Amino acid sequence: MRSDKLAAPTHFSCLMIEATVQQTREATVQQTREATVQQTREATVQQTREATVQQTREATVQQTREATVQQTREATVQQTREVTVQQTREATVQQTREATVQQTREATVQHTKEATVQQTEEATVQQTGEATLSFSPSFCPSWNSYVPVCFS
């Protein structure tokens, strides 16, 4: 009987050990699963955060680059337009001034020539008239038909 009494507790002990092993296995699997899920979640959140930061940084750099290029292009166009307008204005003023000076010079020369010719003609007519009168026989007491000179 003694062997029966020993055998029963041993069988019970084996069952207890198996149950404990089974529970331990299930608990380990459950804890491992939960820990894996938790770690996966945390890793996913961390990776998502890092990827978002990286993508945001790259997108910001790209947008900043594009905006800078666009603004630089617009500023260059605006400055070029302003410089062109300014240079055109200055060149137009300069050319107008030079053309005005040239035309004034030419007109002055032309008017001076015309006035000189006119005055010369008038003076010539006047002098010719006076000379004709002074050589006229009616004004000369002694008129020599061969030498048109008045003798006083």
For 123-150, write each residue's pLDDT tens digit. 888 887 776 655 555 555 555 555 555 5
Element (H, E) at 50: helix 2-135
Is pLDDT of 96 > 70?
yes
Predicted local confidence at residue 144, as pLDDT: 53
Mean pLDDT of the residues in the chain: 86
Instruction: Classify each residue of 127-137 as buried b or exposed e, where b means 16 or more C-beta atoms within 10 Å of its C-beta.
Output: eeeeeeeeeee
Query: Can you tell me the mean pLDDT for 76-94?
Result: 97
Instruction: Classify each residue of 81-101 as buried b or exposed e, where b means 16 or more C-beta atoms within 10 Å of its C-beta.
Output: eeeeeeeeeeeeeeeeeeeee
Predicted local confidence at residue 1, as pLDDT: 46
Predicted local confidence at residue 30, as pLDDT: 96
Give the DSSP per-residue string, 3-41: HHHHHHHHHHHHHHHHHHHHHHHHHHHHHHHHHHHHHHH
Predicted local confidence at residue 135, as pLDDT: 54
Query: Can you tell me the mean pLDDT for 17-23?
Result: 92
Predicted local confidence at residue 133, as pLDDT: 59
Q: Is the pTM of this model over 0.85?
A: no
Predicted local confidence at residue 87, as pLDDT: 97
| Number of CB atoms found within 10 A of residue 140's CB | 15
